A and B are shown apart, each in its own frame.
Chain A
Amino acid sequence: MSNKIETIDVNLHYGDFHALKDISLGIPENSVTALIGPSGCGKSTYLRLFNRMNDLIPETRITGKVLLDGENIYKIKANKIDALRRNVGMVFQKPNPFPKSIFENVAYGLRVNGITDKSFIEGQVEKTLHQAALWDEVKDKLKKSAFELSGGQQQRLCIARALAIEPSIILMDEPASALDPISTGKIEDLIFELKAQYTIVIVTHNMQQAGRVSDYTGFFYLGSLIEFGKTRKIFTNPSKQETENYISGRFG
């Protein structure tokens, strides 16, 4: 399988803080890659490289290469960043639907990118809500506020919102950490469904979750990538002592 994303010797500094140290890693296409590690290890920062979300934080310096489909996304022109972000969807830790209707939340990405064809938008919203396994629960209340949904439904709505503009990569930053076990299960099922079409990178604090949903796992510690490989191998037979300590719960 080819690598959808590849980073080569990436270093990232926030001011004086060296947040990512020489990270070289290839993320295979149409798979789920989990990034694990203790708080502050750099996994979320690493995730946010791929849609240039770190750009929003002042005094961020990045060196090395971040290749997406072979193109260095830190060398593209400023006016290509929106196109990059259309291609890389993102789901956040806390469900954060916009204060709009369920329909308008999913349609937002289309509207913001200049699509006005009403029937196309309607079709896309329905298709995407189906994909996010939310359609049956919301089809009668598309005009209702997204805030009326439960936390788990809101998070699936946020996934639908990301899917609506047909990205090829989906970044998930601890997408289930604010949800109950049943909602978490639904999100995980969804991730499993989606990987046929998308390359998914998920940051998680939950070891079992990483084990359940991912094909590949990367273990980060103090800004460095300690180990990367097939999830099964990382969890059953890690090659580094730190990885084993973390996974077996001895620290972190």
Chain B
Amino acid sequence: MTFPESNDRRKKIGQAVMFGLSKGISYGIVALLFLILFFIIKQGIGVISWEFLTAMPTDGMTKGGIFPAIIGTLYLVGGSMLFAFPVGVMAGIYVHEYAVSGPMKRFVNMMTNNLAGVPSIIFGLFGMALFVNQMGFGASILAGSLTLGLLALPIVIRTTEESLKSVDDTFRQASYALGGSKLYTIRKVVLPIALPNILTGLILAVGRVSGETAPILFTVAAYFLPRLPNSIMDQCMALPYHLYVISTSGTQIEASRPIAYGTAFVLVAIVLIVNILAALLRNYFGKKVKMN
């Protein structure tokens, strides 16, 4: 049998075009990321100094530093994770390991997805209604952390579930076959294997939470509070909100422009550092799982 040579040529060209296209797009995305980073670094690096990182804002937020905003963001990220991580991991374990498949499980899954799709300003409003007013926390780090935690919850649940799904079922069976209970099996076999991937979910959640403005708008963020918070019932400043304030509603927007870029720079740097730390942690646990 003879096959038309033109067909082989056509296949080859089609392949080259598709491959080139997808390669170009992925490089383009990386380039875009670097462009954003470059822009922020270029604009922001000028104002970065030890003083900028450690001093209080002064002169109507056109001078001085952003120390309270940095500390506030760290508190909020930490607080939200303290809430979202254990709750999300437990929910993920329930959904994947315990819930019997059927309408109820599908419903829970669907609702988790819906929760992930809720606009963040809605979380802000909800947080204000529930934590600030109903539960009487007032605008406070506690209320803000809980609100941000709610936002992070579906991410943590989803990745926990996916991580558990990727644990080969024969590990569970081997443990049951030795007389292991479900709980023991999850604690000693399944979770250690899944942990590195669950930590990836934590990284994603931290990235998401640290940059959110809307959920903290009504629940914790202070427009201007040139001191550190005294307790978790205190308000605090936060980087994304600070950036928003000095770029839109300050009295001297032009004068505070450099500080705005500096703030953006610090925010991006914090997210980057947290991501790197979490990635190191994840690698460490990944190795430990193999070595232990």
Contact = CB atoms under 8 A, between A and B. Distances in A.
Contacts of B100: 58
Contacts of B174: 90, 92, 96, 98, 158, 161
B103 to A, nearest CB: 14
A235 interface: no
Contact of A83 (B170, B179, B289): B179
B179 A165 contact: yes
B173 A86 contact: no
Interface in A51-101: 51, 53, 56, 58, 82-83, 85-86, 88-90, 92-94, 96, 98-101
A198 to B, nearest CB: 15
B112 interface: no
A112 interface: yes
Interface residues of A, number: 31
A216 interface: no
B177 A89 contact: yes
A108 B193 contact: no
B189 interface: yes
Nearest to B185: A112
B177 A99 contact: no
B165 interface: no
A147 B292 CA distance: 10
B175 interface: yes
A51 B179 CA distance: 10
Nearest to B177: A90
A145 interface: yes
A161 B292 contact: no
A88 B189 CA distance: 20
Contacts of A161: 174, 178
B290 A85 contact: no
A80 B170 CA distance: 22
A109 interface: yes
A126 interface: no
Contact of B289 (A58, A85, A99, A108): A99
A202 to B, nearest CB: 15
A36 interface: no
Given A58-B101, A104-B292, A145-B290, A99 B193 contact: yes
Given A98-B188, A112-B179, A145-B292, 12 more contacts: A53-B173, A85-B179, A86-B178, A86-B179, A88-B177, A90-B173, A90-B177, A92-B170, A108-B178, A109-B180, A112-B175, A145-B290
